[in-house]
Structure 1
Amino acid sequence: MHRYRSKIFLLFVLNICFAVLTFSQDSRRNSRQDYIDIFAKLAIQEMNEFHVPASITMAQACLESGDGNSVLSREGNNHFGIKCNSSWSGPSIRKDDETRNECFRKYGTAIESFRDHSKFLTGGMRYQFLFDYNIKDYRKWAYGLKKAGYATDPQYPERLIKIIEEFQLHKLDEYYNSSKSYVRPERMSAVKKSPGRHKVGIGIDDFSINPYANRNVERRNNVKAFVAKEGDTYEQIAAEFSMKEWEIYKYNDVEPGARLEAGSFVYIQGKRGSAPRGNDFHIMKQGESLWSVAQWYGVRLNALYRKNRMSQGDVAKTGQQISLRKMMRK
């Protein structure tokens, strides 16, 4: 009897553990709205550069990646189900699809996946007729993609259109060649959600892009930073790290819309008021600015102005000694 009760108790504990594990795994899944919130601006940027409707790009990403929850998107950052072909020389990931163990493209970041999707459509001859369509005619584009052979699912156009209309993604297309800046609405969908179930940001740390795995994040002056790559923008980095744009601008002492140069340091936390110990002064070199010095040492730009008794906008001269830790004497 004692052994029987022990077995029953063990089964009970195992069932509880399984239930908790299942719940925690489910709670880490991205909701469709969270996924859209993160990548809508990137879809708009791709639209304005490559002329693919943002509504179509976003709906395809939702459908093909399972809202960023699929194996391909999590392990390969492939958000559009694009397979390898003879022209692909990059990394790959294997997965069963129409046949077993098929080859799919693998990317370093989700941003690279969105860019390759744009190039895939604009570079493929079979998709060229799509660009004769009105960019705001998402229905025509949806059926055109099926006609061009993007997917074998006979319901593919209807599924894209359903996502676009349910989440009002057609509103993204209004930003085509527009001088208006996209501001993420609180919620683009009228669909109500259970309280506390899918809050904005839930599951982002376990999202299909893990920025800390795809970026060589280091600590400069005990502040997290990394070196920008070719094609990076402050806005894309903000999306990648689930930050608000004003935060990335503030942390890097730049104005909204500022251009990001490859090789520049990008801070994802607020910089400090002084440089690390042992770095008391900096002698200005040709081509340097007070901003570049602030970025190099991980110091707030306004702190450097104050320490050196300079006004905002003053230009430091070549050969000038800049105090990095203490107030400059008069």
Structure 2
Amino acid sequence: MIKRIIAFIIFGALLTSCGAKKKSVYGDDLRTNHKTHENTTVSVESNEENPLPDFGDKFIKFNISSVEEYINTFADLAQSEMRAYGIPASITLAQGILESGSGKGELARKTNNHFGIKCHKGWVGEYELHDDDEAGECFRKYVHPMLSFRDHSEFLSSRSRYAFLFEFKNDDYKRWAKGLREAGYATDKRYPQKLIALIERYQLYKYDNKTIDSGDIVQIAPKTYDYTTHVVEKGDTLYSISRKYYISVPEIMKLNKMTSSLLSIGQELRVKTEKAKK
């Protein structure tokens, strides 16, 4: 345990030395009342078993010139996250490369957001408005990339729609890649193939093997669920319903034995929700 905490601190110090300071822009409301602040903090849940270093409140800028440099910079971090959360390091690295343009994309440079995670309900940290599927969408902003990697781990491990991924083996990157698409992580139909191609081209699977060989990988306990009924209203789509209940479209169709995505007003759909803790 102590070794792992020390490793996080040392790695954080090394990464921090690469950066420069930058002002942050965000407001109390994620959509309006935008204000400028120089001293801010980022609200990211900390894993009690694997605490993150305190990076302060200044934005750390990274200048990465190639995919190889990206891998060399973040491979140790991806392996640490794999030990702490069970997500294959190869998947984390491939997603980071793809989503951030190897750290060179505009969003990554402005926000240190390497996984394109949007604000979503409940986000109270720093943010940046960026054009994506729609104009001016709200994306989370971090003072340091390590916080983005941790938020990615928390994001996947805490949402019921991704729970089935943790039933796959830690080194089965192909099933993980396909499962992310099935769970609705990305709208790109070729998303799994792109991740797999990156993993195999740069042999990212070797980081899974190294982590597995080192042992001490957390095993995420299967989530338990309650079931409820959703009555279809005007404007509902399977996608909007999946977003509301944090489950994937294929899961909704499977639960309701649907062969078509067509819905009718008043139609009752069985959906599952994460069981409340007692």
Is the 2:78–2:92 contact (alpha carbons within 8 Å) kept by the matching residues of 1?
yes
Cα distance in structure 2, aligned partners of 1:165 and 1:155: 16
How much does 1:87 deviate?
A: 1.9
How much does 1:178 deviate?
A: 3.3
Relative to structure 1, the CA distance from residue 35 to residue 29 in structure 2 (aligned partners, 3 Å threshold; closer, same or farther) is: closer
How much does 1:179 deviate?
A: 3.1
Kindly provide the amino acid, as one letter, of the partner of residue 103 in structure 2: G
Cα distance in structure 2, aligned partners of 1:175 and 1:73: 27
Q: Structure 2: give runs of 5+ residues left out of the alignment.
A: 1-62, 216-278
**Match of residue 80 from structure 2:** 45
Kindly provide the amino acid, as one letter, of the partner of residue 174 in structure 2: R
**Match of residue 85 from structure 1:** 120
Relative to structure 1, the CA distance from residue 178 to residue 74 in structure 2 (aligned partners, 3 Å threshold; closer, same or farther) is: same
Aligned residues with identical type, % of pairs: 50
Relative to structure 1, the CA distance from residue 68 to residue 138 in structure 2 (aligned partners, 3 Å threshold; closer, same or farther) is: same
Map Cα deviations across residues 93-118 of structure 1 (whole Å, 9 max, x no partner): 11100000000000010000000000
Cα distance in structure 1, aligned partners of 2:180 and 2:81: 17
Question: Which of 66, 69, 82 lines up with 2:104 in the alignment?
Answer: 69
Q: Which has the higher contact order (CA 8 A, sep 6+)?
A: 2
Cα distance in structure 2, aligned partners of 1:177 and 1:169: 13
- Structure 1 or 2, whichever has the larger Rg, is 1
Kindly provide the amino acid, as one letter, of the partner of residue 59 in structure 1: A
Superposition pairs of residues 1-330 of structure 1, within 5 angstroms:
30-179=65-214
Could you say what the CA RMSD is over the residues aligned between the two structures, in angstroms?
A: 1.5
Cα distance in structure 2, aligned partners of 1:85 and 1:179: 35
Cα distance in structure 1, aligned partners of 2:187 and 2:131: 15
Cα distance in structure 1, aligned partners of 2:117 and 2:214: 32
**How many residues are paired up?**
154
Is the 2:64–2:70 contact (alpha carbons within 8 Å) kept by the matching residues of 1?
no
How much does 1:30 deviate?
A: 1.5
Cα distance in structure 1, aligned partners of 2:200 and 2:212: 22
Map Cα deviations across residues 261-288 of structure 1 (whole Å, 9 max, x no partner): xxxxxxxxxxxxxxxxxxxxxxxxxxxx
How much does 1:29 deviate?
A: 5.7
Cα distance in structure 2, aligned partners of 1:63 and 1:74: 14
**Match of residue 318 from structure 1:** none
Relative to structure 1, the CA distance from residue 101 to residue 129 in structure 2 (aligned partners, 3 Å threshold; closer, same or farther) is: same
Kindly provide the amino acid, as one letter, of the partner of residue 210 in structure 2: Y
How much does 1:128 deviate?
A: 0.2
Secondary structure of the corresponding residue to residue 104 of structure 1: strand
Secondary structure of the corresponding residue to residue 176 of structure 1: helix
Map Cα deviations across residues 203-247 of structure 1 (whole Å, 9 max, x no partner): xxxxxxxxxxxxxxxxxxxxxxxxxxxxxxxxxxxxxxxxxxxxx
How much does 1:136 deviate?
A: 0.6
Cα distance in structure 1, aligned partners of 2:203 and 2:149: 20
How much does 1:177 deviate?
A: 4.2
How much does 1:142 deviate?
A: 0.2
Kindly provide the amino acid, as one letter, of the partner of residue 34 in structure 1: E
Cα distance in structure 2, aligned partners of 1:110 and 1:103: 18
How much does 1:175 deviate?
A: 2.4
How much does 1:53 deviate?
A: 0.2
Kindly provide the amino acid, as one letter, of the partner of residue 126 in structure 1: R
Cα distance in structure 2, aligned partners of 1:153 and 1:97: 13
Cα distance in structure 1, aligned partners of 2:111 and 2:142: 6
**Match of residue 8 from structure 1:** none
Cα distance in structure 1, aligned partners of 2:64 and 2:170: 32
Cα distance in structure 2, aligned partners of 1:139 and 1:87: 32
Relative to structure 1, the CA distance from residue 58 to residue 123 in structure 2 (aligned partners, 3 Å threshold; closer, same or farther) is: same
